[in-house]
Structure 1
Amino acid sequence: MRTQKRPIHAVSMWVRRQPPKVKAFLAVVSGMAALVLLRVIVNDHDNLFVAAEAVHSIGISVLIYKLTKEKTCAGLSLKSQELTAIFLAVRLYCSFVMEYDIHTLLDLATLATTLWVIYMIRFKLKSSYMEDKDNFVIYYVVVPCAVLALCIHPTTSHNLLNRISWAFCVYLEAVSVLPQLRVMQNTKIVEPFTAHYVFALGVARFLSCAHWVLQVLDSRGRLLVALGYGLWPSMVLISEIVQTFILADFCYYYIKSLFSVYPLGWSK
């Protein structure tokens, strides 16, 4: 007798056989269904932002464990960590001069941890750093983000430099994970702790994106007006959505690997 396939495996195989356009459609439908579910089960949608911060912290904790216990930084992108440090530093500056709150303290803790990770990769665990695989040119994202920030930024009453800086960190955060994904593509097989870390980033970005989308729906668009006028409010949402979709493909294969006997690899 033929062994009956598990339902999850059967669905996974069916999705894998679909053309890219169908996969994209299924991803959008799944995302919308998840948003509807979150809107129903979460009363205060501000809690989604807190949850995003918590999941991000869990991901960083996994990263710290990898560096301290495993004594290796194999599979990690130093350039992604550097981009993260840049946008966190800029966001901290903006928070101090524009809207100091509890998230400022959370960003400060995250920046301190990120700088420690950079130090470990650069000096303590340099021998295990895959420099040849971490070949993403960060200027390809830093320069476009800076130019975009000059053109599209908040229209509030704050100092122009501060408004441009705030836009820059929003745009840079959206693409900061690209060097890490490039390392994974280059190495083909993803190291487990690195996979956990990136998956946590993906979940955190989805929760953050859901927070913004649901807030806009709850306020019937008034939140967009509060953010300013022109293209800036839309760019905030687009940045959240872009980062979510950048990580969506990896998260799909991560979840798929949990129900498979094969290690997590990278699809061509």
Structure 2
Amino acid sequence: MRPPRTLIHVVSTWVRRQPPKMKAFLAVVIGMAALVLLRAIVHDHDNIFVAAEAVHSIGISVLIYKLMKERTCAGLSLKCQELTAIFLAVRLYCSFVMEFDIHTLLDSATLATTLWVIYTIRFKLRSSYVEDKDNFAIYYLAVPCGILALLIHPSTSHHIANRILWALSVYLEAVSVLPQLRVMQNTKIVEPFTAHYVFALGVARFLSCAHWVLQVIDSRGHLLSAMGYGLWPSMVLISEIVQTFILADFCYYYVKSVFGGQLVLRLPSGVV
């Protein structure tokens, strides 16, 4: 006798059978519904951005727990951590010279823990690092982001170098998770702690994107004008949306795996 199918299994099966356009439409609908919910329950939308950085810190803490408990860094991308450290360091510098606030403190804590993860992978657990799977060339991301930052950056009164660095941190953050997704694409099997970490990144990216979208809606578009002229305001929003959708597929399979009671996440081809 076949066991009864759960609601999550029925829904996931139906979604999987839909054409790509329908899946994209459903993703947009779910995203809009989540935005409406956040707008209704969170009165100060700056708290959403703080929550995004806090969730990112939680994800890093999960990595630290994995490294300390299992004594292995298999399945982790060193290049992803290095890109994360780069954009955090640049953003932290910009925060110190342009606007010191609570985000500066959160970024400092996240950068410190990210550097610890990099040190542990590179030196303490080097023997378990699968370098051939972590084969995404960083310059494929860093060079285009650098060129884009030179061309499109804030038009504020700050020094031109600081404005370019600010833009660079935004663009690098949008694509920094790609090396980790490449590692998971190469292995197809994601162990629990790595899956928790990447899901935390997905949640953090969505909250950050929601913060910007809600701020623009609440200000009736005046926020974009306050950020300067030209393409920069639009590029900030596009970067937030891009980094959210990069992780959308993985987050779907993560939630499906959790509800299905699976400890190890197995990704089908073409997911990431």
Deviations 1:156-199 (A, max 9, x none): 01111110010001000000000000000001100110000000
Between the aligned partners of 1:37 and 1:77, the Cα distance in structure 2 is 34
Q: What is residue 159 of structure 2 aligned with on the other side?
A: 159
TM-score, normalising length from structure 1? 0.97
Q: State the 1:259 CA deviation.
A: 2.0
**Secondary structure of 2:190's match?**
coil
Q: What is residue 212 of structure 2 aligned with on the other side?
A: 212
Q: What is residue 5 of structure 1 aligned with on the other side?
A: 5
Q: What is residue 43 of structure 2 aligned with on the other side?
A: 43
Structure 2: gaps spanning 5 or more residues: none
**Secondary structure of 1:44's match?**
coil
Between the aligned partners of 1:58 and 1:95, the Cα distance in structure 2 is 21
Q: What is residue 245 of structure 1 aligned with on the other side?
A: 245
Between the aligned partners of 2:215 and 2:2, the Cα distance in structure 1 is 50
Q: Is the 8 A contact 2:54 2:106 kept in 1?
A: no
Between the aligned partners of 1:8 and 1:102, the Cα distance in structure 2 is 39
Structure 1 residues 2 and 84, CA, compared in 2 at 3 Å: closer, same or farther? Answer: closer
Deviations 1:98-144 (A, max 9, x none): 11222112111111111111110000000110101000001000000
Q: What is residue 25 of structure 1 aligned with on the other side?
A: 25
Q: Post-superposition, which runs of at least 4 consecutive aligned residues in structure 1 deviate over 3 A?
A: 1-4
Q: What is residue 203 of structure 1 aligned with on the other side?
A: 203
Once the two structures are aligned, what percentage of the paired residues are identical?
A: 82
Between the aligned partners of 1:43 and 1:115, the Cα distance in structure 2 is 34
Q: Within the alignment, does 1:265 sit opposite 2:266 as a pair?
A: yes
**Secondary structure of 1:73's match?**
coil
User: What code does the residue aligned with 2:50 have?
Assistant: V
Structure 1: gaps spanning 5 or more residues: none
**Secondary structure of 2:265's match?**
coil
User: What code does the residue aligned with 1:245 have?
Assistant: F
Q: What is residue 176 of structure 2 aligned with on the other side?
A: 176
Between the aligned partners of 1:71 and 1:121, the Cα distance in structure 2 is 10
Count of matched residue pairs? 268
**Secondary structure of 1:132's match?**
coil
Q: Is the 8 A contact 2:53 2:107 kept in 1?
A: no
Q: What is residue 190 of structure 2 aligned with on the other side?
A: 190
**Secondary structure of 2:75's match?**
coil
Between the aligned partners of 2:172 and 2:139, the Cα distance in structure 1 is 11
Between the aligned partners of 1:132 and 1:4, the Cα distance in structure 2 is 42
User: What code does the residue aligned with 1:174 have?
Assistant: A
Deviations 1:69-110 (A, max 9, x none): 111111000000000111111111111111122211211111
User: What code does the residue aligned with 1:241 have?
Assistant: I
Q: What is residue 63 of structure 1 aligned with on the other side?
A: 63
User: What code does the residue aligned with 2:14 have?
Assistant: W
Note the aligned Cα RMSD (angstroms).
1.1
Q: State the 1:22 CA deviation.
A: 1.2
Between the aligned partners of 1:48 and 1:180, the Cα distance in structure 2 is 25
Between the aligned partners of 1:214 and 1:102, the Cα distance in structure 2 is 20
**Secondary structure of 1:88's match?**
helix
